[in-house]
Amino acid sequence: MNIKKEEISKVVKKAVEEVQIVDLHTHIFDLRFKDLLLWGVDDLLTYHYLIAEVMRLSDMPYDELWKMSVKDQSNLIWKKLFIENSPVSEATRGVITVLKSVGLDPSKRDLEGYRKFFASKKVDEYIDLVFKTAHIKYVVMTNDPFVEDERKIWIKNEKGDARFKSALRIDPLLVKWPSSYLKLKEWGYDVEEKLTEKAFSEIKRFLSDWIDRMNPVYMAASLPPEFKIPSDTETALIIENAIIPVSYEHNVPFAMMIGAKKLSNPQLKLAGDSVGKADINTVEYLARMYPHNKFLITMLSRENQHELVVAARKFRNIHVFGCWWFLNNPSVVDEITRERMEMLGLSFTPQHSDARVLDQLIYKWDHSKKVIEKVLTDKYSDILEDGWVITEEEVKRDVEKLFGGEFEAFLKRRF
Ligand code: RAT
Ligand code: ZN
């Protein structure tokens, strides 16, 4: 049945509320990875986004912060960002959304009480609760074989939880070759620092071995603003001579997350990365030169968004995803999602959560869904105004595409 104009917002709201989400980029882990899975109020409060915010209000030496226990850091953040100031930033608001959604009362401002609640939970049951509350079908993790704590679990080849799929993350291979080649050597690959044909074939063997082991949804790397291909940098050479052929051969797309300026303030550690505008020509070059390869692309700088959408219109082997990191704020998500929908229709994935703490799945999706719902309602309203008709099933279909369906369809395509 066709939807009446005045009912469109209600129908979209329901469809967005109920959709089962594919979260295509997170940093959470299944239970095999034990302590690498972060959850609960102290992990929420010590999220690196909040570390950056709290240090703006303090003259404490950075070293002192890093010497503190997680609990003490969390106490400090609670006091400074929630009690001495109102939690109006996106990352502080997120903590409140989580507390409310799991049945706690944010108006009590009772950090100890919240801690008791989480201490009483069993992690496996809590995973179920979070996935149910956030309507998650499955998440894609970030799995870096160069991280020893992860590697030792992968090489056991244990079966994981099907709701957690893997992504083979290869930043060290691409951006730290002069040290990471030593690791490859240690693991039995016949490489030297010099990038010879032999080295490329050994890197390909390394990637294939890890693809066989992890069965990843994609390979991925975070790349700096100055990332440029073609060029004679190690990053460019390894991508063109090893990643591209392996990605094609295994039909595992290459996800490029471009524009992260690593450790702009090293004292802040993980919280110290910044952003820079990157060169869209690199993205277009790869899509043009390798039309049979598939690329998942997100860019960090707001200034890159328009040209990225245009590039995606030109190259069907680019799938644009997410409002990444510093863009994951309602005002910016709204702008970018409109821009993308106006030029790509439904052929993109508006958001991923980037959750580092399990519970963040709840707030990241709650906040983004509200914005995406608004954008979609406006777009439907415009065409209904001009006489188009839409059924409830069509709204459901469209919403499913935006929250994972289109991504899955892209994974299945072979160009
Ligand atoms: O958003 C974040 O938490 C960043 O620190 C990064 O992890 C980024 O998302 C990445 O995947 O490199
Ligand atoms: Zn991330």
- Stretch 331-360: mean pLDDT: 98
Q: Where are the beta strands (DSSP E) in 196-268?
A: 219-223, 254-258, 260-261
Query: With a 6 A CB cut-off, is 222 part of the ligand 1 pocket?
Result: yes
Spatial distance between the Cα atoms of 204 and 126, rounded to a whole number of angstroms:
39
Query: Which 3 state secondary structure label does DSSP give 392?
Result: helix
Query: With a 6 A CB cut-off, is 326 part of the ligand 1 pocket?
Result: no
Considering the domain boundaries, does residue 47 fall inside one?
no
pLDDT (0 to 100) of residue 225:
98
Considering the domain boundaries, does residue 96 fall inside one?
no
Prior bond to 291 cis, omega within 30?
A: no
Number of domains making up the chain? 1
Query: With a 6 A CB cut-off, is 325 part of the ligand 1 pocket?
Result: yes
Which ligand is the nearest neighbour of the Cα of 24?
A: 2
Band of residue 12 on the pLDDT scale cut at 50, 70, 90: very high
Q: Determine what percent of the chain is predicted with pLDDT higher than 90.
A: 100
pLDDT (0 to 100) of residue 391:
98
- Stretch 39-45: mean pLDDT: 98
- Tell me: the pLDDT tens digits for 47-71? 999 999 999 999 999 999 999 999 9
Spatial neighbors of 90 by CB under 8 A, at least 6 apart, are 49, 328, 329, 330, 367
- Stretch 114-124: mean pLDDT: 98
pLDDT (0 to 100) of residue 402:
98
Query: With a 6 A CB cut-off, is 213 part of the ligand 1 pocket?
Result: no
pLDDT (0 to 100) of residue 173:
98
Closest ligand 1 atom to 325 CA:
1
- CATH number, domain of 175, equals 3.20.20.140
Band of residue 371 on the pLDDT scale cut at 50, 70, 90: very high
- Stretch 290-310: mean pLDDT: 98
pLDDT (0 to 100) of residue 38:
98
> What is the domain extent for residue 361?
5-36+137-412
Band of residue 356 on the pLDDT scale cut at 50, 70, 90: very high
Considering the domain boundaries, does residue 188 fall inside one?
yes
Q: Which amino acid is at 308?
A: L
Distance 257 CA to ligand 2 centre (A): 9
Mean pLDDT of the chain: 98
- Stretch 162-186: mean pLDDT: 98
- Stretch 388-396: mean pLDDT: 98
Considering the domain boundaries, does residue 238 fall inside one?
yes
Residue 92 near residue 50, CB atoms below 8 Å: yes
pTM above the 0.75 mark? yes
- Stretch 319-340: mean pLDDT: 98
Band of residue 240 on the pLDDT scale cut at 50, 70, 90: very high
Considering the domain boundaries, does residue 330 fall inside one?
yes
Considering the domain boundaries, does residue 175 fall inside one?
yes
Considering the domain boundaries, does residue 50 fall inside one?
no
Burial (CB < 10 A; 0-12, 13-18, 19+), residue 139, is buried
Query: With a 6 A CB cut-off, is 189 part of the ligand 1 pocket?
Result: no
**Torsion, Cα of 327, 320, 266, 46 (10° steps):** 60
Closest ligand 1 atom to 328 CA:
1
pLDDT (0 to 100) of residue 24:
98
Residue with structure tokens 């050597």?
185
pLDDT (0 to 100) of residue 302:
98
Which ligand is the nearest neighbour of the Cα of 170?
A: 1
pLDDT (0 to 100) of residue 30:
98
pLDDT (0 to 100) of residue 10:
98
Residue 20 near residue 135, CB atoms below 8 Å: yes
Distance 322 CA to ligand 2 centre (A): 10
Considering the domain boundaries, does residue 372 fall inside one?
yes
- Tell me: the pLDDT tens digits for 102-113? 999 999 999 999
The number of angstroms, rounded, from the C-alpha of 34 to the middle of its chain's C-alpha atoms is 21
- Stretch 241-270: mean pLDDT: 98
Spatial distance between the Cα atoms of 357 and 364, rounded to a whole number of angstroms:
11
